[in-house]
Structure 1
Amino acid sequence: MAIPTQAQTGTRHSSLEDVDPFIGTAATGLPAPHGQAATWWWPKPQVGNTHPGATSPLGMVSACAYSGAYPTGYGLYGKNTQGVPEPIFGRLEASGFTHFQQSGTGMIRKYYNYVRLTPMIQPLDELGRSWALTDEEASPGYYAATLDTGIRCEITVGEKVAVHRYTYPASRSARAVVDLSCGGLTIDRSRTVPLRAQVEITGRGQAQGTVVVEGVPLSFHLEVDSPGWRQMLWHDRRLIDGGTRLDFDSIRHTTLRPFGLVFIGPATAGQSVEVRIGFSLRGPEQARRNLERESAAGLPSFDLVHAQTARRWASHLDRVQVEGGTPARRTVFGTALYHSLIKPCFADDESPFWPYGGPFAFDICTMWDIYKTQLPLLAAIAPDRAVDLLESLIRVCEEEGNFPIGYRMARGADRFFRQGSALAHTALADVHALGLGDLDWAWALVHMDDDLRRQYGEDYVDKGVVHPITHTLDLAFAHHCTAGIARALADEPLARELSGRSGNWVNAFEESTGLLRDSTFYEGGRWNYSFRLMHDMAARIRLAGGDAAFVAMLDSFFGRGAAPVRQPGVAPSAQEMAAGYALNRFEGLNNEPDMEAPWAYHWAGRPDRTAEVVHSALTWQFGTGPGGLPGNDDSGGLSSWYVWASLGLFPVAGQDLFLIHPPAFSRSVTQFSQGELIVECSGHVDTPISSDGLDGEPPVQYVQSATLDGKSLTGPHLPAHRLHRGGRLHLRLGPEPGSWGGSVRPPSLSDH
Structure 2
Amino acid sequence: MGNTHPGATSPLGMVSACAYSGAYPTGYGRYAKNTEGVPEEMFERLQASGFTHFQQSGTGAIRKYYNYVRVTPMVQPLDALGESWPLYDEVARAGYYAATLDTGIRCELTVGAKVAVHRYTFPEHGSARIVIDLSCGGLAIDLGQTVPVRAQVESMGHGRAQGTVVMEGVPLSVYVEVDSPGWRQMLWYDRRLIDGGTRLDFDSIRHTTLRPFGMLFMGPAAPGQTVEVRMGFSLRGCEQARQNLERECGHTEQAFDTVLFRTRARWAEHLDRVQVEGGTPARRTVLATSLYHALIKPCFADDESPFWPTPGPFAFDVCTMWDIYKTQLPLLAAIAPDRAAGLLESLIRVCEEEGNFPIGYRMSRGADRFFRQASALAHTALADAHALGRAELDWSWALVHMVGDLRRGYGEDFYERGVVHPITHTLDLAYAHHCTAQVARALNDGGLADDLDELARQWHNAFDPGTGLLRDSEFYEGGKWNYSFRLLHDMAARIALAGGDDAFIGKLDRFFGYGAEAVQRPGRRPTPAEMAAGYALNRFEGLNNEPDMEAPWAYHYAGRPDRTAEIVHAALTWQFGTGPGGLPGNDDSGGLSSWYVWASLGLFPVAGQNLFLVNTPAFSRAVLQAGGNEFVIETSGHRETPIGAEGLDRHPPAQYVQEATLNGKPLHATHLSAATVHEGGLLRLRLGPEPSAWGRGLRPPSLSHPLSRPLPTSEVTR
Same fold (TM over 0.5): yes
Partners in 2 of 1:670 and 1:453 — Cα distance?
Answer: 38
Cα distance between partner residues in 1 of 2:79 and 2:515: 62
Aligned to 2:231: 277
Picking from 356, 359, 375, the partner of 2:329 is 375
Please give the residue correspondences for 1:190-589 in structure 2 after superposition, counting only pairs within 5 Å.
Answer: 190-298=144-252, 301-589=255-543
Shift of 1:590: 1.2
User: Alignment partner of 2:436: what SS?
Assistant: helix
* Identity within the alignment, %: 76
Closer/same/farther in 2, CA of residues 517 and 425 from structure 1, 3 Å limit: same
2:133 corresponds to which letter in structure 1? D
The question of whether the paired residues in 2 share the 8 Å contact of 1:291 and 1:300 is answered with no
CA distance in 1, matches of 2:600, 2:507: 25
1:603 to 557, 566, 576: 557
- Quote the offset at 1:571 in angstroms: 4.2
Q: Contact 1:672/1:726 (CA < 8 Å) preserved in 2?
A: yes
Query: Is 1:151 equivalent to 2:68 in the alignment?
Result: no
The amino acid across from 2:549 in the alignment is M
Which stretch has the larger CA shift, 595-604 or 623-632? 623-632
2:423, 2:550 → 1: CA distance? 18
Secondary structure of the 2:275 match is strand
Query: Would you say how many aligned residue pairs link Structure 1 and Structure 2?
Result: 706
CA offsets per residue over residues 29-59 of structure 1, 9 Å max, x none?
A: xxxxxxxxxxxxxxxxxx1000000000000
1:232 Cα deviation from its structure 2 partner = 0.5
SS at match of 1:212: strand
Deviation, structure 1 residue 299: 5.2
Alpha carbons 1:292, 1:300 under 8 Å: kept: no
Cα deviation 1:678-709 (Å, max 9, x = unaligned): 10001101110011111111121000011110
Q: TM-score, normalised by structure 1?
A: 0.93
Which whole-Å CA distance do the structure 1 matches of 2:418 and 2:536 have between them?
29
Task: Give the match for residue 697 of structure 1.
Answer: 651
Conserved in 2, the CA contact under 8 Å of 1:51 and 1:72? yes
Of 634, 638, 648 in structure 1, the residue corresponding to residue 602 of structure 2 is: 648
Pairing 1:635–2:635 present = no
Q: Assess if the C-alpha contact under 8 Å between 1:478 and 1:502 holds in 2.
A: yes
TM superposition score normalised by structure 2: 0.98
How far the C-alpha of 1:268 sits from its partner, in A, is 1.1
User: How far apart in 1 are the matches of 2:295 and 2:121?
Assistant: 31
Q: Is the 8 A contact 2:187 2:197 kept in 1?
A: yes
Q: Deviations over 1:541-560 (max 9, x none)?
A: 00000001111100110011
Q: CA 1:480–1:300 in 2, change beyond 3 Å: closer, same or farther?
A: farther
Q: CA deviation at 1:561?
A: 2.1
Distance 2:263 2:521 in 1: 40
Q: What displacement does 1:563 show?
A: 2.2
Aligned CA distance change for structure 1 residues 308 and 187 (closer, same or farther; 3 Å): same
CA distance in 1 between partners of 2:251 and 2:115 (Å): 16
Counterpart AA for 1:736: E
Q: Does the 8 Å contact 1:83/1:567 carry over to 2?
A: no
Q: State the AA in 1 paired with 2:645.
A: S
User: Partner residue of 2:629?
Assistant: 675
For the residues of structure 2 that align with 1:568 and 1:79, how far apart are their CA atoms? 19
Answer whether contact 2:228 2:254 (CA < 8 A) is retained: no
CA distance in 2, matches of 1:272, 1:566: 54
Quick one: distance in 2 between partners of 1:278 and 1:345? 16
Runs of 4+ in 1 over 6 A off after TM superposition: none
> How many angstroms apart in 2 are the aligned matches of 1:692 and 1:139?
22
Q: Is the 8 A contact 1:167 1:270 kept in 2?
A: yes
Structure 2 letter corresponding to 1:260: G
Bigger drift between 177-186 and 624-633 goes to 624-633
Q: Deviations over 1:226-245 (max 9, x none)?
A: 01100000000000000000
Structure 1 counterpart of 2:25: 71
Q: 2:179·2:253 contact (CA, 8 Å) conserved in 1?
A: no
In structure 2, list runs of 5 or more residues that go unmatched.
707-718
Report the 3-state secondary structure (helix = DSSP H, G, I; strand = E; otherwise coil) of the residue aligned with 2:334. helix
1:590 to 541, 544, 555: 544
Give the Cα–Cα distance (whole angstroms) in 2 for the partners of residues 307 and 742 of structure 1: 50
Aligned equivalents of 1:89 and 1:716: distance in 2? 50
Alignment partner, residue 617 of structure 1: 571
Are the equivalent residues in 2 in contact too, given 1:141–1:310 (CA < 8 A)? yes
Cα offset, 1:566, TM superposition? 3.2
SS for the counterpart of 1:749 is: coil
- The answer on 1:736 being equivalent to 2:685 is no
Pairwise mapping of residues 43-122 of structure 1 onto structure 2 (< 5 A)? 47-122=1-76
Question: Which stretch shows the higher mean deviation, 575-584 or 378-387?
Answer: 575-584
1:718-748: per-residue Cα shift (whole Å, max 9, x none)?
0111111000100000010010001110010
Distance 2:270 2:345 in 1: 21
Asked if structure 2 preserves the Cα contact closer than 8 Å seen for 1:121 and 1:173, the reply is yes
Contact in 2 for aligned 1:652/1:658 (Cα 8 Å): yes
Task: Quote the Cα distance in structure 1 between the aligned partners of 2:500 and 2:99.
Answer: 58
- Cα distance in structure 1, aligned partners of 2:59 and 2:569: 26
Amino acid of the structure 2 residue aligned with 1:504: Q
Q: Measure how far apart 1:82 and its partner are.
A: 2.0
Q: Which moved more, 1:60-69 or 1:83-92?
A: 83-92
- Tell me the CA shift for residue 674 of structure 1: 4.4
Counterpart code for 2:23? A
SS of 2:249's equivalent in the other structure is coil
Gaps of 5+ in 1: 1-46
2:713 matched residue in structure 1: none
Deviation at 1:587, TM superposition (A): 1.9
SS in 1 for 2:434: helix
User: 8 Å contact 1:679–1:730 — kept in the other structure?
Assistant: yes
Structure 1 stretch displaced more, 511-520 or 569-578 = 569-578
CA distance in 2, matches of 1:536, 1:587: 26
Deviation at 1:85, TM superposition (A): 1.3
Amino acid corresponding to residue 171 of structure 1 in structure 2: H
Whether the 8 Å CA contact 1:619–1:689 is kept in 2: the answer is yes
- 1:568 positional shift: 3.8
What is the CA-CA distance between 1:158 and the residue it aligns to?
0.2
SS of residue paired to 2:470:
coil
Which fold has the larger relative contact order, with Cα–Cα distance below 8 Å and residues 6 or more apart in sequence? 1
Shift of 1:203: 2.4
Letter of the structure 1 residue corresponding to residue 324 of structure 2: I
Say whether the 8 Å CA contact 1:84–1:568 is kept in structure 2.
no
d(CA) in 2 for partners of 1:233, 1:674:
50
Cα offsets for 1:564-598 (capped at 9, x unmatched) = 22344444322211111111100210110110000
